[in-house]
Every structure is written in structure tokens, then in C-alpha cells.
A and B are shown apart, each in its own frame.
Chain A
Amino acid sequence: MMKLCAFCISLGIMMLAAANATHATGNQPDPAVAALPRTTITVSAAASLTDVFPIIAKAFNTRYPKLSVKFNFGGSNALVEQLRAGAPVDVLATASEPTMWAAVRGGWVSPKPSHFAKNTMVIATPAGNPAGITSLVGIQSPNVLTAVCAIEVPCGLATRRLFSVNNVSVTPVTRELDVRAVLGKVIADQVDAGIVYLTDARSAGKAVTTITIPADKNIRTTYLIATVIDSSKQQAAQAFIDYVRNSTSAQSILRTWGFAKP
């Protein structure tokens, strides 16, 4: 009974927040949000958002000084698994649709998650590309050590789709459990190539050389964000989501880091 009531209340608050969102323009502070009491929300976000989300959070905090954001980064599946176990977070941002829908089916997040960015894949090689890789065809050679994500995680599914679109058959030397681990193997020069998101390769700067994949041969992955149903900070959580989706500053930060429009 208590649980049902809590659900009704949170649903009510969510609808209120949604109503607020419709009349917020995205570039002006929303007075209703600005009037919220001082609070810190926790955002569980996919590993590939590790660099960009803290920057967006800072801009968000500048617009709404009373609202702060802290992060819990990890593989999208692991984040959903934490929600199942009752992790005290307010917002979930995943790097793939299936992981978000799993959270929706579990009843842990709002049934209406929003798209906020897209990503594409690249080949990352150690600085200077010592193995001389030019395309996906090149990493089929058994002499090229390639790291990819395990198919159990979103970047691994994306990699498998990428290989099938390009009709290549690659035998990796390792299947890592998140995209940052693949990048780590490339930066440490333990492998000749790694399949990562464009944004991860960009975040590594000069430590890696990026081989791009032509758009018609590439795939796009979708990022989704939603409020957590058990959160007691629905309004602040929804304000952060609106900011990420609609504000020019958040979207331009995302572009700078290589994320595409949703």
C-alpha cells in the first residue's frame, strides 16, 4: 500500500515536471527549477560519457546554482543491474537502447526515456599507427592484434553490427567489458587496433591515432536518458535531463566531444 502511494506521488511529481519542461525554452533558466531547494542529484551514466557529462554538469550548475550533480560511471548493463539492486540514483543515461529498455521493463526508470545523443565507431591505434592500419579490412589479418568490447556490453553489440555491415571477419585477442578498457589497451600499446566510439578516441587525444570509418559503412548508436522512479528528487532530475536534451550549451558541449545530434 505504502509502495503504491509512493508510486502515485512520484508519478504526480513526474507529470508536474513534464508540464514544467514543456514551457521551458531550453536556453532560459526555468523559474520553477531555479526555485527548487538546494540538492545534489546522482546520475548513473555510461562509461563513454565519463569526460563529457561532468562538463555539462558544471554548466548546469552555473545555470541553477542550487542544483549539483554527481556521477556514477560504468558499463550500461552494470548500471541497470545496480538499479535492480536499489541503487540510490536519480537519473540513468545509457549508451544503448536495449539496456535502457531493460530498465524500463524492470520498472526502475520512467517509461518515456529521451534520446539525447548519437555516436559512431572508429578504429583507434597506438600513436602513429605502427601497424599501418588503414581500414576495417586491414584488421582481419591474424598479425594485427585487435581489442574489442564483449558482445555482452553495448559497444560490443555495436562492434558486431559494424563488422557485419562491412562484411569483415575479425578475430580479436581480447573482449573487454567496457569501451574504456579497449581504449586502455590501445593507449598502452598492447594491441595494434581497438574498435571504440569516436568520442572515446577523441578523448584520448594524441595518445591514439584514429582511423575513421566512412559514414555509409559506419553504424550509429543511441544514447538515452531517463529519471529513476524511486528517486525523491524528480524535479531536479527532470531539470538535468531537459538541460542535456534541450539547452544549446549542453548540446554544443556534446558536439565538441564528437557526439552527434540525437
Chain B
Amino acid sequence: MGICKTLIANKSLAGQRPPSLIIPGMIALAFLLVPLIAILADAPWGSFLTIISSPTALEALRISLIASVSAAGLVFVTGVPLAWILARDVLPGTRFWRALVIVPLLLPPVVSGVALLSAFGRRGLVGGWIYDLTGFQFPFSIAGVILAATFVALPFLVITVEGAIRSVDRDIEDAAAVDGASTRRIFQSITLPSIAPALVAGTVLAWARAVGEFGATITFAGNLEGSTQTMPLAVYTALESDRDSAIALSIMLLVVAVAILVALRSYYMPGRQRHNP
């Protein structure tokens, strides 16, 4: 049924190709592609392998992967319930809370970093209390990198998933409720399966945002090879002295990120079709 719908949609689109859509669309595609081609053309291919196999590059990649995957996990386990709370108007003033969720998208990431310092730094509102009690502080540790990435990535998942939950057929949920299913059971058996594509899309978006995160990280977590220096920080640091290294590192990050996206896609696509018979 899902496949049929797609076929019909494709056929009707194939029939008419209005230039008013095609031309601006192609311009957008070119706009996205040209800088990528330019950076590939600029790459120091001769020394590429040497640069990307340096300890600095490998350490930065390791930190980036650990931090972005952890952040995506945190975003998932806290963001999905938040999306449900917003979609189902659980709290008074849903519109206000929804606007609040978007704030990290509006803030310049550096400002997010400053705000995180005020909250979770060792003299911060919450961080000061944690530091006095345990001696632990988020800045200058990978925990700080994960926290910064989670903060900036959360809105991407919440917005995506909330929209999907809102579009779930309430009648089915209500019917299940009439039959005596608990709210939790309804959420697990009806809501979650029907929003599976949005869950994947939201998590992938959040992860991608976490991978590219720079400003909040350098402001909140600092920049030290082997502990807080992620790929974007390594790229920016390299840019100060060696443009070739910076470009090679950027390409390395791009290749790894795209490879992971492609792998995820082939893994999730069949599952997605089974959920929508």
C-alpha cells in the first residue's frame, strides 16, 4: 500500500515538470554542491593519508564519534518523551514550551556555550553545586562535549518527532484506550511504531548537528587534543597554521559522516516499509 502510494505520487509528478519548481530547485542543489566540489578540488591529495592518519586526526575522530553518538542517544531518550509531552498538551502553555525548545536553534552556538558555562561550569548554577559535592566539572571533559552537543541537537529531534506524533490517528489511540490499554501501552504499541520514520529522521538530524557542533563546544568544553578536541575543533585549530591539514581533516569528517548516514539508511529502510504495510 505504501509502495503503491509512492508509485502513484511518482507518476503524477512525472507527468508535469513545471520549470518554476525545477529551476530554483536545481539552483539550490548546485548551491549545496559547489562548495563541496571546491573543497575537494582544494584538497592536498598528495599528503592526504599522512594527515588523516596523524594521532591528532584519529584522536579528534574518536572524540567526535563518542560524543556525537552519546549525544544522539541522550537526545533520543529525553527528546522523544518531551515531543510526546508537547504533542499531547500534557503541560499548560504548550505553545510557550514549544517556542522554548527552539531557542537553541536561534542562539549563536557560542552563546549556548556561555549559557552552559553559567549553568554547568564549576561556578555555575547547577555545576557549582555538583562541583562542591563531588569535585566533578563538565568543562574540559568529554562529558562537557556531550552536554554541549546534546543541548544544540535536542530541538532537531523534538520538532521532527512532535510533528509526527501530532499526525498519528487519535481514533486508533482512543479505541485502544476504550479497550483498556494504558497510556504507556498505547505509546509503545501504537504511537511509537507509527512514528518510526520520524524517530529515525530526528535522531539522524540530531546526530548530524552534534557531529558538526563547534561554537558551544569550544566555549563550554575547551579545546584539548585527546580529551575535548572534536573534528570541527581540530579543523579550526589546524586552520590557524596549516590550511592543507584543515581541508584534509574536513574531508575525513565528511566521508565518515556520510558513510555512517548511508549505513544507517540501508539498515533502517526495510524496517520502515514493514511498519507501513
Q: Mark B225-247, 1 if CB is under 8 A from A, else 0.
A: 10010000000111111110000
Question: What residues of chain A lie closer than 8 Å to B122, measured between beta carbons?
Answer: 189-190
Are A77 and B121 touching (Cβ within 8 A)? no
User: A81-B243, A145-B140 known; A177 and B236 CB under 8 Å?
Assistant: yes
Please report the C-alpha to C-alpha distance between residue A177 and residue B242 in the assembled complex, in whole angstroms. 14
User: A150-B223, A190-B121, A190-B123 known; A78 and B240 CB under 8 Å?
Assistant: yes
Binding site secondary structure of chain B: loop
Question: What residues of chain B lie closer than 8 Å to A185, measured between beta carbons?
Answer: 222
Partner of A150, one of B121, B140, B237: B237
Are B224 and A174 touching (Cβ within 8 A)? yes
Are B240 and A189 touching (Cβ within 8 A)? no
Question: What residues of chain B lie closer than 8 Å to A172, measured between beta carbons?
Answer: 224
Asked whether A258 is an interface residue with its Cβ less than 8 Å from the other chain, the reply is no
**How close is A228's CB to chain B, nearest CB, in angstroms?**
20
Are A150 and B240 touching (Cβ within 8 A)? yes
User: A174-B223, A188-B117, A190-B123 known; A152 and B237 CB under 8 Å?
Assistant: yes
Question: What residues of chain A lie closer than 8 Å to B223, measured between beta carbons?
Answer: 150, 174-177
Question: What residues of chain B lie closer than 8 Å to A190, measured between beta carbons?
Answer: 117, 121-123, 139
Output the nearest chain B residue to A98 by Cβ-Cβ distance: B241
Are B240 and A75 touching (Cβ within 8 A)? yes
Question: What residues of chain B lie closer than 8 Å to A75, measured between beta carbons?
Answer: 240
Asked whether A208 is an interface residue with its Cβ less than 8 Å from the other chain, the reply is no
Please report the C-alpha to C-alpha distance between residue A181 and residue B110 in the assembled complex, in whole angstroms. 12
Question: What residues of chain B lie closer than 8 Å to A150, measured between beta carbons?
Answer: 223, 237, 240
Asked whether B218 is an interface residue with its Cβ less than 8 Å from the other chain, the reply is yes
Please report the C-alpha to C-alpha distance between residue A190 and residue B141 in the assembled complex, in whole angstroms. 12
Chain A contact residues (Cβ within 8 angstroms of B): what range?
20 to 34
Are B241 and A152 touching (Cβ within 8 A)? yes
Asked whether A153 is an interface residue with its Cβ less than 8 Å from the other chain, the reply is yes
Question: What residues of chain A lie closer than 8 Å to B123, measured between beta carbons?
Answer: 188-190
Q: Identify the interface centre among B225, B237, B238, B243: most chain A CB within 10 Å of its CB.
A: B237
User: A145-B140, A185-B222 known; A177 and B237 CB under 8 Å?
Assistant: yes
Are B240 and A77 touching (Cβ within 8 A)? yes
Are A77 and B117 touching (Cβ within 8 A)? no
Please report the C-alpha to C-alpha distance between residue A111 and residue B239 in the assembled complex, in whole angstroms. 24
Please report the C-alpha to C-alpha distance between residue A24 and residue B121 in the assembled complex, in whole angstroms. 54
Asked whether A198 is an interface residue with its Cβ less than 8 Å from the other chain, the reply is no
Question: What residues of chain B lie closer than 8 Å to A81, measured between beta carbons?
Answer: 239, 243
Q: Mark B132-172, 1 if CB is under 8 A from A, else 0.
A: 00000001100000000000000000000000000000000
Please report the C-alpha to C-alpha distance between residue A190 and residue B117 in the assembled complex, in whole angstroms. 8
Please report the C-alpha to C-alpha distance between residue A153 and residue B239 in the assembled complex, in whole angstroms. 10
Are B222 and A174 touching (Cβ within 8 A)? yes
Output the nearest chain B residue to A78 by Cβ-Cβ distance: B240
Partner of A152, one of B218, B224, B240: B240
Are A173 and B224 touching (Cβ within 8 A)? yes
Please report the C-alpha to C-alpha distance between residue A174 and residue B218 in the assembled complex, in whole angstroms. 9
Question: What residues of chain B lie closer than 8 Å to A78, measured between beta carbons?
Answer: 239-240
Are B240 and A188 touching (Cβ within 8 A)? no
Asked whether A89 is an interface residue with its Cβ less than 8 Å from the other chain, the reply is no
Q: Identify the interface centre among B218, B222, B242: most chain A CB within 10 Å of its CB.
A: B222
Please report the C-alpha to C-alpha distance between residue A147 and residue B218 in the assembled complex, in whole angstroms. 12
Are A147 and B222 touching (Cβ within 8 A)? yes
Please report the C-alpha to C-alpha distance between residue A176 and residue B218 in the assembled complex, in whole angstroms. 8
Please report the C-alpha to C-alpha distance between residue A153 and residue B228 in the assembled complex, in whole angstroms. 19
Output the nearest chain B residue to A84 by Cβ-Cβ distance: B243
Question: What residues of chain A lie closer than 8 Å to B117, measured between beta carbons?
Answer: 188, 190
Question: What residues of chain B lie closer than 8 Å to A77, measured between beta carbons?
Answer: 239-241
Question: What residues of chain A lie closer than 8 Å to B140, measured between beta carbons?
Answer: 145, 173-174
Q: Mark A1-12, 1 if CB is under 8 A from B, else 0.
A: 000000000000
Please report the C-alpha to C-alpha distance between residue A58 and residue B223 in the assembled complex, in whole angstroms. 36
A-B contact pairs, 11 of them (CB 8 A): A75-B240, A81-B239, A153-B240, A173-B140, A174-B140, A174-B224, A175-B222, A175-B224, A176-B218, A181-B218, A188-B123
State the A residues within 8 Å of B (CB): 75, 77-78, 81, 145, 147, 150, 152-153, 172-177, 181, 185, 188-190
Given contacts A77-B241, A175-B224, A190-B121, 11 further A-B contacts (CB under 8 A): A145-B140, A150-B223, A150-B240, A152-B238, A153-B241, A173-B140, A177-B240, A181-B218, A189-B121, A189-B122, A190-B123
Give 9 closest A-B pairs by Cβ, nearest first: A174-B222, A152-B240, A152-B241, A173-B140, A77-B240, A189-B123, A174-B224, A153-B240, A175-B223
